[in-house]
Amino acid sequence: MTTIAAPARSKPAIALVLDGANPPQLRPLLEAHFQVHGIPVSDGMSRSVAAFAGEIRALVTATLVGADHRLIGALPRLELIACTGGHVDRIDRQAAAVRNIRLARVPGASAPDVADLAIALMLAVARRVCESDRFVRAGRWTKSPMPFGRRVNGKRLGIVGLGSIGRIVARRAEAFDMQVVYHGRGPKDGVPYRYYDDVAAMAADVDFLSLHCKSGPETRHMIDAKVLRALGPDGFLINAARGAVVDQPALIRALRDGTIAGAGLDVFTDEPDVPTELMAFDNVVVQPHHGAFTHETKQIMSDTTLANLLAHFAGRPVPHPAG
């Protein structure tokens, strides 16, 4: 009797946004389980999927790319959008909800690394680390002394947004004997730090103002000229949240006029374009939105994204939905 083997089940087809923020190990990991179609990041992403749009059942995207209504609309069989980061603010949630498309994310993976970078930015800008590096490399040490920096230990730190990242920053700061206070939508239960309901009032009382709030209409340009004036000529601004939280032209004016002492910035209004004025200041340390860019975090992002996809295609709830 001849036994006819059942045809092998084909792998589900998914689309992967080819963004530099996604881990390099992600695609090979996904290809072991899925038929993966890459989508280069561009303004015409919805057109670039035309050749395989009818096959795609899941879309894997990055936090800073997301998925707009045009891309979602171009994928008629789409069931799931899996973001490799913790924020889904660049995914058109309304367009997804209309079609009952599920959203998944990777919550909290990068929080310790972003917190570490915030502390690094404080140290770098206050102790003039990058400026001193340039000073030595240019051979200037043999000709004149390097100007003094400012201490971090024992200073006052104001945190805007005491969420998962902000709380880790606070714990890190305590190791430097810093006095921590915070501002947010409301006071948090069970924290020992003083709460300010007005961010300008808090800025006036601190030496460092570190931003860790979400980006949205309610926080857009929260850090404006008034807040920067309150922070004052001995105060430093640290932004590892989102560029839109800061009124960037107001920040440039404040740095130009000596309104504040300096800034450590991982994020900008129109990334990856950084104003030349910002890069011209010696008292500004800039980073390429790199808070989450560690090998360890990227591995967690890859593994969790795969777990979300496997659960969905097995008919189970995704372990990390974006509610």
Catalytic annotation, residues: 242, 271, 289
- Which amino acid would we find at residue 203? A
Decide if pLDDT at 189 tops 70. Answer: yes
Confidence of residue 7 (pLDDT cuts 50, 70, 90): very low
Read off the tokens for 59. Answer: 């879309």
pLDDT tens readout for residues 144-184: 999 999 999 999 999 999 999 999 999 999 999 999 999 99
Asked if the peptide bond before residue 272 counts as cis, ω within 30 degrees of 0, the response is: yes
pLDDT tens readout for residues 98-139: 999 999 999 989 999 999 999 999 999 999 999 999 999 999
Average pLDDT, the chain: 94
User: Which residue ranges form the domains of the chain, and what is each CATH number?
Assistant: 13-109+295-313 (3.40.50.720), 111-286 (3.40.50.720)
Instruction: Please name the residues in contact with 272: beta carbons below 8 A apart, sequence gap of 6 or more.
Output: 288, 289
Residue 236 contacts residue 203 (beta carbons within 8 Å): no
Strand segments (E) across the chain: 13-18, 35-40, 58-61, 80-83, 102-104, 156-160, 179-183, 194-196, 208-211, 236-239, 262-265, 284-286
Per cent of the chain over pLDDT 90 is 87
Decide if pLDDT at 70 tops 60. Answer: yes
Instruction: Please name the residues in contact with 186: beta carbons below 8 A apart, sequence gap of 6 or more.
Output: 195
CA distance 247 to 211: 13
Decide if pLDDT at 143 tops 80. Answer: yes
Per cent of the chain over pLDDT 70 is 97
Please give the DSSP secondary-structure letter assigned to residue 273. Answer: B
- Helix 164-174 and helix 111-126, axial crossing angle in degrees, nearest 10: 50
Mapped onto helix, strand or coil, the DSSP state of residue 321 is strand
Please give the DSSP secondary-structure letter assigned to residue 243. Answer: G
Please give the DSSP secondary-structure letter assigned to residue 106. Answer: -
Decide if pLDDT at 97 tops 80. Answer: yes
pTM for the predicted model, two decimal places = 0.87
User: What average pLDDT does range 227-249 have in this prediction?
Assistant: 97
pLDDT tens readout for residues 18-29: 988 777 889 999
User: What average pLDDT does range 261-271 have in this prediction?
Assistant: 96
Instruction: Please name the residues in contact with 212: beta carbons below 8 A apart, sequence gap of 6 or more.
Output: 114, 118, 159, 160, 161, 162, 163, 165, 166, 169, 240, 241
User: What average pLDDT does range 16-44 have in this prediction?
Assistant: 90
pLDDT tens readout for residues 55-65: 999 999 998 89
Query: What is the structure's pLDDT at 1?
Result: 46
